Amino acid sequence: MQEFRPENYLPDSNLWEEGKKTSSFKTPIFELVSVPKISPDKTISGNFFKVESKDWVNVIALTSDENVILIDQYRHGLHSYCLEIPGGIAEKNSILESAQAELREETGFISDEWEYLGKVSANPAFMNNWCHTYIARNVYPHPDGQELDESEQIEVYQYPLNKISEILEKNILHHAMVVAAFGLFFLKFGEKKK
């Protein structure tokens, strides 16, 4: 076993050789592709599958009195309602514009104060995309309210930032990208409890 040295870590060196990818199945939100690959030492080869998708965004939206804007929506994968933060597919010209649009559309709130928090890979074992998190501070209501997609029904809530860890621990907030977003937030700013 070697000692890990972050300063020497080069994740994009000595990569596996890739052949031409073939589309296996395409939907409006992702594409399943097969890619022939060979390991650098030539001992492993085969077709490997991956899901290609646009990047995602999510937003930790904070009111002036330190409440977090949360959304609750039905999720088809779990066949359950899920409490989350606003987010979605990054479809605008930039990641920031996508985050701003998701906040506005899903919650009816907007902000003039945006800060990029970071990104996490959704599941690098078989997915190619990243999820980017922004903080929107001092959010306030847009006069026109929510602007939901035709397939969305979303309830909007406020919850104190200093109590978010409680609903994370109780598995009420369980969406992996939401948990990761708050992980990034608490790493940077610490956990404020009153």
49 located within any domain: yes
Same domain, 78 and 27: no
194 located within any domain: no
Ramachandran class of 96: left when φ > 0, alpha when ψ lies in -120 to 50, beta otherwise: alpha
Average pLDDT over residues 173-189: 97
Same domain, 123 and 138: yes
- What CATH number is associated with residue 111? 3.90.79.10
Show the tokens assigned to 77: 């994968």
1 located within any domain: no
Q: What is the residue range of 14's domain?
A: 6-53
Average pLDDT over residues 173-190: 96
Count: domains in the chain: 2
pLDDT digits 0-9 by tens, 2-34? 999 999 999 999 999 999 999 999 999 999 999
pLDDT digits 0-9 by tens, 80-126? 999 999 999 999 999 999 999 999 999 999 999 999 999 999 899 99
Instruction: Please identify which residue in the block is written with the tokens 């994009």.
Output: 12
> How far is residue 131's CA from residue 101's CA, in Å, rounded to a whole number?
15
Average pLDDT over residues 162-175: 97
Predicted pLDDT of residue 10: 95
Same domain, 135 and 88: yes
Q: Does the pLDDT of residue 51 top 90, yes or no? A: yes
